[in-house]
Every structure is written in structure tokens, then in C-alpha cells.
Structure 1
């Protein structure tokens, strides 16, 4: 909305009026207040009175031929002071009848009060100026009313379909063309939708900057940076506030009535979203931040650090990713909630959130590279208490927040390689990268058709022979390979005579067209047998 209507939606300024052909024909020259040409013009007033201020309400562009100006400097100063005090937008004087150059006293008085003073070297039809400008102003007002209506309709539609806080904030940023942030009562930025800036620019040092902005009971501009803020509350209970930030460049620093309308409707929609959606804002914010890190969706490492820091978590130091895969339930709400409370109680800073159905992610922030294994053990025991079939995988420790995605990928490989029903590692309830041996690697790759094809090519004929003839040559091969080619050990494990083992091994060699005395071929068959085992374990 903002992109299509930006020019029409902003107030008509002194500079805009001076650029109109009807005034440009008079060769306007700004001799005072040149830095204040961005003042909005509310109306145009033609006057030849010595006290025009008594008929003004502020925001008027005052047009005069100069005839009523006092002769004495003191009178000129009083004339300008009255205009400035009432809030006139600018004074335009025609240098055709009484003056051919602006009086020094008038120029000095306007400069003192920083009131724009514009001279016209050529005769201008003031009545035509008022007609043109008033037509523009009235047209802008009608268009502003239409845009305001569209804003109300957009937020009404969001509310009716039960939009969550993220969608509400995103819509507000899109309508206003400004960065919009939702924060809680302890000044943590829960949702940030940047517009015209980066997350880093918007959120760096957020808590300190936010605490410098006083909380108000209504929507207004306040604080050293000129933030537009609106409280988010219900029946006297305040939950946080919505904030609209001015752009990094001062080109559009002023907030207009439309911006106020957008932010007020944003606060209302956020209140309704809070009542409809039971997930606490903080938990949803952690979940979103976690997903961005795990999926590496942040625009830059600086953005990632700024977002995490704005949530009140360390953005520097070591980090380690933990994944909890729930094998007997898909509902992640309870594990997510329980793990969040446990980590909050333990004092270990972390992001916790559901990453997918049946999978909860945890990113531990390690202060001074503190030991993380005791914390992960607590996480694993809690997970197993909630779901006895849960598998907890841990990635490697990383030094940069932007590398968290790598730790999550590793944790995912660890969790996916855990064999069902296999015992836990000695002394712990979770799995690490070092636990991935041949069988776990093949189990993780079990969906790969190349692994399936390899196992079938190596052992398919042997399995088929056993099925047709009721033999058990595959077991004999297993004993032989497990014994590293020792036939005596293989015979003892299979409760067979050595001669029987010799005979069966020769049959195996014939069926598979292989040489079991070859170490390389024995290795190939051992891998194929391990692959067949994990494929059958699915």
C-alpha cells in the first residue's frame, strides 16, 4: 500500500506548493527558513491585514503583497512573531507593488523565528493559487480517508481469519513502509519486520534503546529516536507495545496520521491475536528465531546476532544444537513447554522450539564455553520421561551463532542414525557424532536406493537360495564375517562342525561368485550384511 500511495499520502509541504506551476511562474525565492520547507501546508490564506494571525489556526501558507507590513522594525518583528506563534507554514510576499526587495527587518525577523520567507519577483494570481492548492488538499483528504478505510478493512480481515502476531506485524510493516517491532514488558523484541532497514539496524542495542522510550497510555511519538509506540493491552492488563521506527534516513522521518492509524489497528489486532492464540509470545518468538538459525534463513550473521540479543540471549560465545525426536507422539507442545521451563529454571540461556512435527530443537548458548553435557543429559532424561521412545541427538559445538545451522544438521544426522531398540551409549541418555558407526551410518542412509541396491546385489542370490531350499547360509556367512574369517570360531558360534562350515562356505562362494579369503571382498560382504540388517529393522 505504501509503495503505491506514498506521494499522495504524505502532507502537502511548502516545497510542494512552491513547485506548483501557478507559483513557479512568480519566480519564488526562499530568503529565510530554507531548512523548514518540509512544513505541511494545511490551507492557503490571502491577507492584507496588519494582524493576520488572529484569523489563522496553524499550517497556513500566508500570501501578501506586502502592503500591510509596518514601517518600523519593531512592528515587523511583532508581525512575524504572531505568524510564527500561531504556527503558519510560510510567508509569501510579492515584490511587485510596495516592495522590489524584501525589507531587511522582515528577513531578519523570519530568520530569527525560522519561518520560511518566500519572495515572488513576478505578479501572481493569489486567488488561482488558493484554488489549486485547496483542490489538492481536499483531494488528498479524500484519498487519505479512502486509504484509512482500506487500513481498517485489512486489519478487520486479519482479525476475522485469526491471524497470528507475526502476520499482524508483517502486515503493519507492509502498509506503513516502516519497520514495526512487537516487544514485551521487559523490552525484549519478540517480532521484528524490517522495512527500509536490516534487522541489525533495527534491533542492535534494542533493550537499552527501548528503555529510553517512556511507555505511554496512547499512541504517540516519544523517545530520543522519535519512535511511534502504541500499548498492547486488554482490560487494564498490559502485555507489551507495538513500535514503529522512523527510517534510517531523515527523508521521511515524520509520522503521519496514516502511520498512527496503522499502529493503533496493529495494537488492537495483536490484542485479539493474544486472546485467540494460546502460545505465549515469548515461546513463539524463540521458535521463530530458532527456525531461522537452524534453516540459515537470516540475511547476515549480524542480523542473526541482533535478533537473538534482542530476545535477551547471548549472541557471542559457544553454541551447541540439540534435537529431540519424539518417536511415539507428534505433539510437540508439551515437550517444548517443559524443556523451556527446565532451561529457564536452570539458568542456561537457550532457544527452544518445535522445528517440525515430532521434533523439538534446542540451541544452548554457552557462557565462557561452559560444559554443556550435564545440561544435555537433563534434557535427554526429561525427553525420555515424556516419551520413552524419544531420541536426543547433539551436534558439535560452534563458536559463531551463524554456524548454528551446521550444529543442527549434525544433530539431525545423529538422531536419524539411532537404531530402534538399540541400547543408549554408556553413561548418557543422548547421542553424539562419535556414536555413529557403520550400522548407524547405514541406518541413516536406509532410504537411499543405492544402499538398498548394494545390499541386494551383494547378498540377494544367497537370500533367495535360503528361501527356496530352507537353508541358513546367511547366518553361516554372518558368523564367518564376525569371526574375521576364522572358520573354527565360526563353527563354534553356529554349533556346526568344521567340515560343515567348509562345505557351506564353498557353496556361498559359488552362489556369490566371490573369494572369501579376500579381505576386500569380506569387507564388502560385511557392509552389505550390515545394510541388510538395518533395512530389515525398519
Structure 2
């Protein structure tokens, strides 16, 4: 629920017992009864507008009304021009029905005209309404104070832009969006809405909402917008949305100024948005990470971890960041770097994003974790994925030869990007330090994962460690106690696929010595080296041992 309390309206005032006792009847302006009442004014003057400031509920017995139609029109015009909320006339003393000239004039100017058929104590009406108004004003001051205190606290503790936008949405009860100068939605905090409703077609809708130099309601959807800038340099703007977009509204680019329309945003909403813009300015000054980079990082993490509420929300958010989501294929790429913090990734992150822009390949680029960059490529239907990935890999390796670039598989739906990221992560986890790359390729892919790389990925699994020890532990212990090298002989034999002659040559041993050692191995391990299955088990265990020892 937002902080803004509803103002007292003409309809609210007429429903009060003190006025309801006069049996009010709305003669004109039925659709305007939601106008806010800012004060009550009792008048018996022919020119009451000179004492008004706008928003008043004007009470009269009708005694001062001119006799002629021209004078009545002038009287109503003055009230309408000053912005009076409504005219209430008592039909007890001078009139018993409203004059036709008055009805016509009020209807022409859209001024609500209300008649009272019974006597009402106008002073009592004034006291009751003013008490309510002043009470509302006091509450509004308290709410405004809470807004200022909340944003001051956010600023003092150095809140991130996401926290600021989230606080604005919670305080106002409206969806709040931060966008950059090219109308990309960087942060969206929905309230009573979905990301899909808030961001679908964002750039087109945003461009239809004209810029402004101060907080104002703009555009066909009546957004409340405020610029975010510092010392004359504009960085973007923050927008507060009424709700899901609809086909209704004024022409694109026009301001909504229909006085008969419901009040979209209250004063507290304006205060919230102004403080939001100020807090975002300070956040940008104190946090080194650019908004766009933070937005890409957040979107990538949500996609990689399936944190979006729905596939539609994911597509709307990605599209609002400039990533094509229709008729595209998607591919996840991970760049693993010897970095300790996300800030260490800032330079390669910038380099890779620039390389993709140069190649005209739409993508999201951002740090997923310390030492790991994530990239999601959006590829046109006929565009092969290997050339842009090769280009990315070369750039990453030129920056740091220790970088490891891994690739998942293509997906056709953005909501399946998590699978591509998981596959790329599996490839990265299965890549040993200094892993040899296939000739003519600078990145690793799923097809590269063989037995050794699979075991390397699972090296921290206690079951792998236990398996290697159960299969080979007795042989290793024997070599350690007796100074023998039976484990090496077993390795040569298995690598030679059971060919004893090749094993003898590789070990620099005679065939008879190899036979003796193999019999000793069979005895110690209680196995049959003529069994293909048992040899496979030993070969897996030996490979796991090498991986665990870092060979």
C-alpha cells in the first residue's frame, strides 16, 4: 500500500452527515465529484472568485446571484477559472429550484452544481470539513517526513540503485522503473503488476513519453517521471507507472491534463519519485559499477538461476535491455578468469561487451560470480554461433592467457537459457588448468568432456575418492612399503589396452618382468587383468587418482 492518503473529495464532503442533512442533489458535473476539496468558502458576494485560490467548496444561499443570464455566466466563469471544486446552493431563502441560467452555465463549464433542499448550518459544515482537511494535511506531513527519513537512511548507508527503486515501489504502491538515455529499462520493481505488463514494448512506450526537466505526469499512459542528473549531465530517468498498459490514452507524446480524470498520483508519490531520483544520483556517484553493467549482471543471474517469475517476465525484461527475444537462438558462454572479486571482472567485462557491439551481436554481458563472466548471445536464425564465440574467446585470451572460455548448447526459448548456462558451467568445471585446446579452436564445449575431464569435474565428490582408494589403495601401500613401482606397470599395461609387449617397451622392462609384476598386481588387488570389465574399473580408478593428485 502506498503512503499517499486519498484527499477529501466533493463526493466525500456531500456524504458527511452535516451536508447530507440538507438532502444534496447533484445537478451538473456528476463525473467531477472526485475533485479534491482543499477548503470551504461561504460567500454572499457577487464576485467570490477574488477571495479563492482554487479547490474550494463554495457554499451560498443564492442571495448574491445576478438576475440576468449574462451576470450568472460571469459568476460561474470566475469560479470555474479559479478552479473551484464545486458550487453548493441552498434552495431555502431566495430560490426553491436552481435558476436555468445557473444550470446552463455550470454545465457548460463542467462545474459541479449541488443543491440543498433543506436548511444547513454552513458554519458547522466549514468546521467539520476543515477539521478533516487539516487532519489529512497533518497526516500528509507525517507521511512526507517518513519518506524523507527513509531515503536519507538509504543514502547514508550507500544503498545500491536496486534498493532505492525497490523502496520507491514499496512506499508508493506503484511500479517504478529506472531507464537510461536510450530507453533501456535497467531496473524494474513491479508493484501490483508483473514485469511482463510493466516492460512489454518498453522502448516504444518510453519514447512516446516526452522528457521533462522536473517531476511531472507525461505521456499517453500518464507516467510520473523525473530526470536523474548531476550538474547538468542527464543519466536517465525514473518512471512511476499507474498499472498495466492499455490501449486507451491520449495521443503519443501528449501530456495528460484532463481535469475530469481521476487524480493519478498524490503529492507523496511526487515526493517519493523526487527523492528516488536524488538517491539514484548519489548512488551512481558513490558506486563505481555503471547502471547498465549492474542491470546486465542482475538479468543474467536471474536467467542462469531461473529466478524470474515467468517466461513472459524474462522475455520482457531482456527485451527492455535491448536483447532481441523473437526469432532468436540463445547461447550461454562463460569466461573463467583468475579474479577474486567482481570488480576484477570490470575490464574484461567492458572489453567483451565492446567486442560484441563491434561485431553487431546482441548480448547480455555481466559478472555472475567472482572470477566468472557470463554472456548470453542472441543469434539470428541463420547466424552460426562459432564465429562470434571464437571472436569472444580470442579477446578474452588476449586479455589474460589463463582465461577459460566454455560454451553451452543453443536454445530457442529464452526461458531455457538456464540449461545452456548449466552446460557451460559443467564444461568449465571439467576443464583442467592448462587444458589443451583442440586445434583451431580457442574455447571448450560439451563434446570435449571425456573420462578424465568428467572425473576432474567430480573430483571433490567423496565417492570418487573412495572408489579410487578401494581399487588401488593396496597397490599404492605395497609400493610405498617395498619400494616397488607396480602402479606404473599397471598404468603402462592399461594404457596399452592389455598388450604386454607394448607395456614392457614403455616401461623399459623385459616381458618376463612385466609378467611377474602383473601376477603380483593380480594377487594384491584380487583381480583378473584378462577381464575387460575389471581392467576398465582399474583404468577409471587410475585416471581418478591422477586427477586427484593434480597430474
TM-score, normalised to structure 1's length?
0.93
What's the counterpart of residue 295 of structure 1? Answer: 305
Task: Tell me the alpha carbon deviations over residues 254-310 of structure 1, each in whole angstroms, 9 at most, x when there is no partner.
Answer: 222222222222222222222222222222222222222122222222222222222
Structure 1 43/507 Cα, relative in aligned 2: closer, same or farther at 3 Å?
A: same
Structure 1 459/18 Cα, relative in aligned 2: closer, same or farther at 3 Å?
A: farther
Asked if 1:319 corresponds to 2:315, the answer is no
**Deviation, structure 1 residue 413:** 0.4
Asked if 1:507 corresponds to 2:507, the answer is no
What's the counterpart of residue 495 of structure 1? Answer: 508
**Deviation, structure 1 residue 356:** 0.4
What's the counterpart of residue 277 of structure 1? Answer: 287
CA–CA distance in structure 2, aligned partners of residues 150 and 249 of structure 1: 30
Task: Tell me the alpha carbon deviations over residues 402-449 of structure 1, each in whole angstroms, 9 at most, x when there is no partner.
Answer: 111111111000011001232112211110011111111111111111
**Deviation, structure 1 residue 504:** 2.1
Asked if 1:482 corresponds to 2:495, the answer is yes
How do residues 53-92 of structure 1 correspond to structure 2 at under 5 angstroms?
A: 53-70=49-66, 75-92=71-88
How do residues 197-212 of structure 1 correspond to structure 2 at under 5 angstroms?
A: 197-212=193-208
Contact 2:318–2:325 (CA under 8 A) maintained in structure 1: yes
- 2:144 alignment partner, one of 128, 148, 157: 148
**Deviation, structure 1 residue 153:** 2.1
What's the counterpart of residue 385 of structure 1? Answer: 398
Contact 2:169–2:190 (CA under 8 A) maintained in structure 1: yes
**Deviation, structure 1 residue 224:** 2.0
Structure 2 SS opposite 1:48:
coil
CA–CA distance in structure 2, aligned partners of residues 101 and 300 of structure 1: 60
What's the counterpart of residue 347 of structure 1? Answer: 360
Structure 1 104/523 Cα, relative in aligned 2: closer, same or farther at 3 Å?
A: farther
Contact 1:246–1:252 (CA under 8 A) maintained in structure 2: no
What's the counterpart of residue 453 of structure 2? Answer: 440
Stretches of structure 2 lacking an aligned partner (at least 5 in a row) = 247-260
CA–CA distance in structure 2, aligned partners of residues 384 and 242 of structure 1: 39
Count of residues in correspondence between the two structures:
534
- 1:127 alignment partner, one of 116, 123, 127: 123
Structure 1 532/25 Cα, relative in aligned 2: closer, same or farther at 3 Å?
A: farther
Contact 2:352–2:395 (CA under 8 A) maintained in structure 1: yes
CA–CA distance in structure 2, aligned partners of residues 535 and 122 of structure 1: 96
Contact 1:328–1:390 (CA under 8 A) maintained in structure 2: no
How do residues 143-292 of structure 1 correspond to structure 2 at under 5 angstroms?
A: 143-248=139-244, 254-292=264-302
What's the counterpart of residue 530 of structure 2? Answer: 517
Contact 1:327–1:391 (CA under 8 A) maintained in structure 2: no
- 1:397 alignment partner, one of 410, 413, 425: 410
Contact 2:221–2:245 (CA under 8 A) maintained in structure 1: no
- 1:136 alignment partner, one of 132, 135, 138: 132
Structure 1 325/153 Cα, relative in aligned 2: closer, same or farther at 3 Å?
A: same
**Deviation, structure 1 residue 102:** 4.3
Report which stretch shifted further, 372-381 or 108-117. 108-117
**Deviation, structure 1 residue 165:** 2.1
CA–CA distance in structure 2, aligned partners of residues 84 and 116 of structure 1: 10
**Deviation, structure 1 residue 483:** 2.2
Structure 1 249/129 Cα, relative in aligned 2: closer, same or farther at 3 Å?
A: farther
TM-score, normalised to structure 2's length?
0.91
Structure 2 SS opposite 1:446:
coil
Task: Tell me the alpha carbon deviations over residues 65-108 of structure 1, each in whole angstroms, 9 at most, x when there is no partner.
Answer: 34444555555444433322221112223344455554555444
CA–CA distance in structure 1, aligned partners of residues 400 and 352 of structure 2: 13
Structure 2 SS opposite 1:368:
coil
How do residues 405-484 of structure 1 correspond to structure 2 at under 5 angstroms?
A: 405-484=418-497
Contact 1:322–1:408 (CA under 8 A) maintained in structure 2: yes
**Deviation, structure 1 residue 327:** 3.3
Task: Tell me the alpha carbon deviations over residues 86-133 of structure 1, each in whole angstroms, 9 at most, x when there is no partner.
Answer: 211122233444555545554444333322233334443222221111
CA–CA distance in structure 2, aligned partners of residues 519 and 185 of structure 1: 67
**Deviation, structure 1 residue 335:** 1.3
**Deviation, structure 1 residue 343:** 1.5
Structure 2 SS opposite 1:243:
strand
Report which stretch shifted further, 357-366 or 16-25. 16-25
